[in-house]
Structure 1
Amino acid sequence: MKRLIAVLLTCGLAAFEAHAGCTAAATAGPAGFGTVSSSLVYSTAQSTSITNAGLTCTPAGIELFNSAYFKATITSTQSGLVGPTGDVITYTIYPGSNNAHPITRGVAFDFTSFGLLGHNAPAAIPLYFTTVVNNVAAGVYSETLKVQWDWYYCTGLGVGNLCIGSDSGVGKISLLTVNMTVANDCTITAANIGFGSAPVVSAFTPVSQTVSLACTKGSAYTVGFGDGLYPLAAGGRRRMISGSNYLAYDIFKSAGTTRWGSVGAARRASSTAEINPGNGLGHNPGSGSQIFNYNARIYTDQSTPPVGAYTDSVLLDVAF
């Protein structure tokens, strides 16, 4: 007689489950470029970033499958940062710090593309911003971006890497402000003044030259020449020095005899420029510079000092 023994085989199939979820904050940022001089805004692309553009997730080691996505659609009523005079600073938005794969406004961008998120649900998604050079007026520039978030990904894995849970969101909005403060600035071109040489003070000829300024677009400013290192206390004349000896000279506005100084009415306003008078034209060479004429002369009512090389240093300043 055969004896049959039934053997019960059991196998426990344990599922691994990890919970995670994402939320979109109503407000993110701001992303600030800080304060930047107008000359740098024109000449050099400026960059800034934000570590969290509004979407925050609780990662739990979940592998992102081909069906997963984290999409941002960025829109705005503006075309860039808008300032107080209506000037616009345009910029490009990127998903990474290497300025690759620019994000097109109004088009959904999937951050799972290009390996940007690795294999796990992101704790936060950053954005990077880089300006295009712009010739703009001074002031505070800003733009509010509307970031629409849409996402789907697996939150739990079962046997055979089957997804047994998911998290998703559709049309969740985060508002993100981007801003920059543009500061007044000037690019100054001014040559040294050389009187040459002469045997007596009456033999020196006047020197006629110009100061060229490229200042912030729309800025009203004044230009001043300092008194130099060795001014004469009585009479306010500038002086050059050689050893312990002095040679008095001065700098005069335009082709006249009015001293160009650094205080009050002795300064020159941008509206008095001989070429392109008025407010600043900006840093674009095509806009042209503002030119101020002056003449410099050795005073002939002084005694001729001993032979020597006489020098001075004069500060040229611009005030807004």
Structure 2
Amino acid sequence: MTQRPLLIAAAAAAALGGNAALAAEQTTTFDVQIVLEAACAVSADPLLDFGTAGLLSSAVDSDADITVLCTEGVVYDIGLSAGDNGGGVTTARKMLNGANDVTYDLFSDAGRSSHWGDIIDTDTVSATGTGANQTFTVYGRVPVQDTPPAGTYTDTITVTVTY
């Protein structure tokens, strides 16, 4: 009777895989895909800050960054609006404090010679997506002008990426 557990164990092992003639397998495949559409996302520094000035007897410069992420190979243009106070004219941007204003402009180059507006093929910045973040610096300038009353002057610019 002491051999009975050994016989049961041998029979179990044979049933679980001891008979290679009964082993078989089937395979199949399936495809995997994703459809990527041309897409872009844009973000900007929350503030282009000209700091604190007394008299506007010399130009005041500052800059801020815009970050664009577009699908690789997508050609796009970045436009900057006239601002909430520019009356739709990008060369007439104004920061307001009540009825008083401070004029300023935005440029796409550090030398502040290329006005940055919103007319494609005229004064926007063009680029091609890389699939990674691309950073563009906005260069601002408050030109020499009569100094209005003391206070905080503000405006809001809309960044538009067209692709």
TM-score by length of 1: 0.39
Aligned to 1:258: 114
Kindly state the Cα deviation for residue 296 of structure 1 after the two structures are TM-superposed.
Answer: 0.2
Comparing both structures, which one devotes a greater share of its residues to strand?
1
Shift of 1:219: 1.1
Q: Following superposition of structure 1 onto structure 2, how do residues 161-200 of structure 1 map, counting pairs within 5 Å?
A: 182-200=37-55
The Cα of 1:308 is off from its aligned counterpart by 1.3
Report the alpha carbon displacement of residue 216 of structure 1 after superposing the two structures with TM.
Answer: 1.8
In 2, the alpha carbon distance for the partners of 1:291 and 1:231 equals 25
- Paired residues for 1:109-188 under 5 Å: 141=35, 182-188=37-43
Whole-angstrom CA distance in 1 between matches of 2:77 and 2:88:
25
8 Å contact from structure 2 (residues 81, 88) kept in 1: no
Count of matched residue positions in the alignment of Structure 1 and Structure 2 = 135
Q: Percentage identity across aligned positions? A: 29
Match of 1:297 in 2: 141
Give, in whole Å, the separation in 2 of the partners of 1:224 and 1:234.
13
Check the 8 A contact 1:186/1:216 in 2, yes or no: no
Instruction: Kindly provide the amino acid, as one letter, of the partner of residue 75 in structure 1.
Output: T
Give the C-alpha shift of residue 259 in structure 1: 0.9
Distance in 1, matches of 2:136 and 2:88, equals: 27
Please report the RMSD computed on the Cα atoms of aligned residues, expressed in angstroms: 2.4
Question: How many angstroms apart in 1 are the aligned matches of 2:77 and 2:142?
Answer: 25
**Where in structure 2 are there 5+ consecutive unaligned residues?**
1-26
In 2, the alpha carbon distance for the partners of 1:194 and 1:235 equals: 19
Point out the more displaced range, 260-269 or 197-206. Answer: 197-206
- The one-letter code matched in structure 2 to 1:269 is S
Higher helix share: 2
Structure 2 counterparts to residues 63-82 of structure 1, below 5 A: 75-76=29-30, 79-81=31-33
What is the identity, as a one-letter code, of the residue corresponding to 1:258?
S
Distance 2:108 2:89 in 1: 21
Q: Alpha-carbon deviations, 1:161-203, whole Å to 9, x = none?
A: xxxxxxxxxxxxxxxxxxxx63512142434111111111124
**1 or 2 for the larger relative contact order (CA 8 Å, sep ≥6)?**
2
Tell me the residue number matched to 1:319: 162
The answer to whether structure 1 residue 202 and structure 2 residue 156 are counterparts is no
Distance 2:99 2:84 in 1: 13
Q: Does 1:216 align with 2:89?
A: no
Q: Secondary structure at the match of 1:227?
A: coil
The aligned counterpart of 2:125 is: 268
For 2:129 and 2:88, how far apart are their aligned partners in 1?
A: 35
Deviation of 1:217 (Å) = 2.3
SS at match of 2:37: strand
- Structure 1 residues without counterparts, runs of 5 or longer: 1-72, 82-88, 90-140, 142-180, 271-278, 283-287
Equivalent residue runs for 1:35-74 within 5 Å: none
